[in-house]
Structure 1
Amino acid sequence: MEIRQLKTFMNIVKLGNFVKAAQFLGYTQSTVTTHIQLLEKELDTILFERFGHQLMLTTDGERLYEYAEKITKLADDAKNALCQSKIPVGPLVIGMPESFCVYHLPDLLKEYSSLYPDVELNFKFGISNEFRNLLRKNMIDIAFFLEKNVTDSDLIGKFLWPEPIVIVVSPEHPLAKKESVEAEDFHDQTLVLVESGSNYRTALEKGLEKAAVCFKILEVCQIQTIKQLVSSSLGITVLPLVAVKKELDAGTLVALPWQGPEFQINTYLVYHKEKWLSHAIRSFIKLVQERLVK
């Protein structure tokens, strides 16, 4: 029985299926399956059973999960206790929006990797609500949130800076010529938006729905693709200013003079209040505050 097999088993339980566990761990699905098969062979039992599309723990699986939590925690505790050096080492799993990684972090990550080459950086892209779940399950160490406030009682959110949000179109779009733009101007327009759940997308949708405006949505996962579609006059988008600054400066996109409700979005660095902050985590937080906070 290996620690990595137990961690694979625990991730399957937490995420609900083999595919998501493989994606999260960076394994192939066959590797995840092999880990479980080896555990079942060694323990001479079945850990999971299926009911339709639902994956369920067997009674033995439930019993093993209790032990797996204790074993993996003891292994981590032993590693931390025996590591006397204050030089950051080991894995560091960071959750962040794609835009944040691409437009805020490249230089900082390069510097951090140069300073602490023994830290294994691992990034998970998504939105704040997904990261909340992963922080509570101890599946990521820290995360960057783009939200108005972080008020969760079990999370610690360090305010970093306000994150300006802009609504942009192609210079050829009819709305680009207007001196002011309100919610009513979006009637029957196509919005090219990031995945559902993003706070700035939600704020725009709520503002338009409150004004009883009918609009169409084209959902696109990648910001670069969104910008290309919008610059081709296929619709309107809302994004962090940092993600479109280059295009605004070049004139390939235009920021609309929005007169609707303001997008009050801030950037926070968040971790669970019960999280043990390793040297790797502390060093990362310190570097973020030194290099990125104005």
Structure 2
Amino acid sequence: MTILQMRYFLTVCRLQNITHAAAELHLAQSTLSQAMQAIEEETGLNLFLRSGRTIRISQDGQKLAQKVTVLLREVDVFEENVREMASRHGKLSLAVPQQQASLLIPRLLNTFQNEHPEIQLDIIEPYGLEAARLVREEKADLAVVNYDGSTVPDLQYHRITSRAVKFVVWPEHPLAKRASISLKEAAQFSLVLLSEEFYVTRLLLRSFAAAHIEPDIAYFSPHLSTLYSLLRTHTAPSILFEPAVASLDGLVTVPFDKPLSLTSCIITKKSRQISKDQRLLIKFIRQQLLDDWTTPDS
């Protein structure tokens, strides 16, 4: 007996009239009668006591109806669970740290959402390292980060392009007109950096340590806006991922003679299958970053 036949059977039991049941089910009366006969033949039970168009449910029919009712309730629960699972594929949690947020979030909320209104985006703005942790713990479906080359075994890194990390100052600073500088020259000044939860700062501290240089870090901030304010008030220079300041007026970026760079990538969890919606989002983000950074620094 199929699930559809079970639903037909319960409708006939409830209405006790083939004509009325057929009308409610939008079936031909002959089709429904044949379906009921097929159930009786399959089960070997006499389910109905017929008197013209009116039928009464036999004792066996009543017992079967009770069992079918219980079974169909379980089927309904199962189908609802499947629908909920399917609906979650239309919701994506995306972690976008600050250095990517100003570029990507307006385009995600405008262009991507207009092109794919069926996909609901839940966007959060953690630090770079925190973004990777959220994906690892499956609290975010994917993250966009500029990472320092280190990897976590259970994460998949979809690399896009690399860009330079540069010394950032104001036009009147003594090093502003230099074609390039060394880490040692940068360390002669008190610096303001992003906090150590950012990949760029982790890269810098590792690079200073490898060169046996102890920089004077005047302040670590978790907010790019704070660093922008300190730079514009000529308080202290900084070292940042170049695209993080590319759109800001009044600041100068100077490359290092031994280039430092971060790699833009999208992070997903290795053990989780990438859904169709995720592939669409990954393709969109990749294209946005490549369009803005068509000539990677090295």
1:212 lines up with 2:213 in the alignment: yes
CA root-mean-square deviation: 2.9
Q: 1:79 aligns with which of 83, 105, 109?
A: 83
2-structure distance, mates of 1:239, 1:245 = 10
- Report Cα offsets for 1:178-223 as digits up to 9, x if no partner: 5542233244522111121322222222333433334133122221
2-structure distance, mates of 1:152, 1:225 = 30
Q: 2:254 aligns with which of 244, 253, 256?
A: 256
Q: Please, what TM-score do these two structures have when normalized by structure 1? A: 0.63
Percent sequence identity over aligned pairs: 21
1-structure distance, mates of 2:242, 2:128 = 19
1:267 lines up with 2:256 in the alignment: no
Give the match for residue 181 of structure 1. 181
Q: Post-superposition shift, 1:91?
A: 2.3
Q: 2:277 aligns with which of 274, 277, 280?
A: 280
2-structure distance, mates of 1:173, 1:181 = 13
The DSSP-based 3-state class of the residue aligned with 1:163 is strand
Cα 1:215–1:292 shift into 2, 3 Å: closer
Q: Any unmatched runs of 5+ in structure 1? A: 1-73
1:114 lines up with 2:114 in the alignment: yes
2-structure distance, mates of 1:76, 1:174 = 67
CA contact (8 A) 2:97 2:126 kept: yes
Aligned partner of 1:286: which letter? K
CA contact (8 A) 2:193 2:217 kept: no
Give the match for residue 224 of structure 1. 225
Q: Post-superposition shift, 1:92?
A: 1.2
CA contact (8 A) 2:104 2:288 kept: no
Aligned partner of 1:217: which letter? A
- Report Cα offsets for 1:146-197 as digits up to 9, x if no partner: 1243643322211111133221111222332555422332445221111213
Question: Which of these two proteins has the greater Rg computed from alpha carbons?
Answer: 2
Cα 1:81–1:120 shift into 2, 3 Å: closer
Give the match for residue 75 of structure 2. none
Cα 1:274–1:174 shift into 2, 3 Å: same
1:149 lines up with 2:149 in the alignment: yes
Q: Please, what TM-score do these two structures have when normalized by structure 2? A: 0.62
Q: How many residues align?
A: 213
The DSSP-based 3-state class of the residue aligned with 2:132 is helix
1-structure distance, mates of 2:213, 2:108 = 43
The DSSP-based 3-state class of the residue aligned with 2:246 is helix
Q: Post-superposition shift, 1:75?
A: 10
Cα 1:188–1:151 shift into 2, 3 Å: closer
Cα 1:82–1:146 shift into 2, 3 Å: closer
1-structure distance, mates of 2:93, 2:222 = 22
2-structure distance, mates of 1:196, 1:114 = 36
2-structure distance, mates of 1:185, 1:161 = 28
Give the match for residue 242 of structure 1. 243
Aligned partner of 1:194: which letter? L
1-structure distance, mates of 2:164, 2:187 = 24
Q: Post-superposition shift, 1:139?
A: 0.7
Cα 1:257–1:133 shift into 2, 3 Å: closer
2-structure distance, mates of 1:168, 1:103 = 19
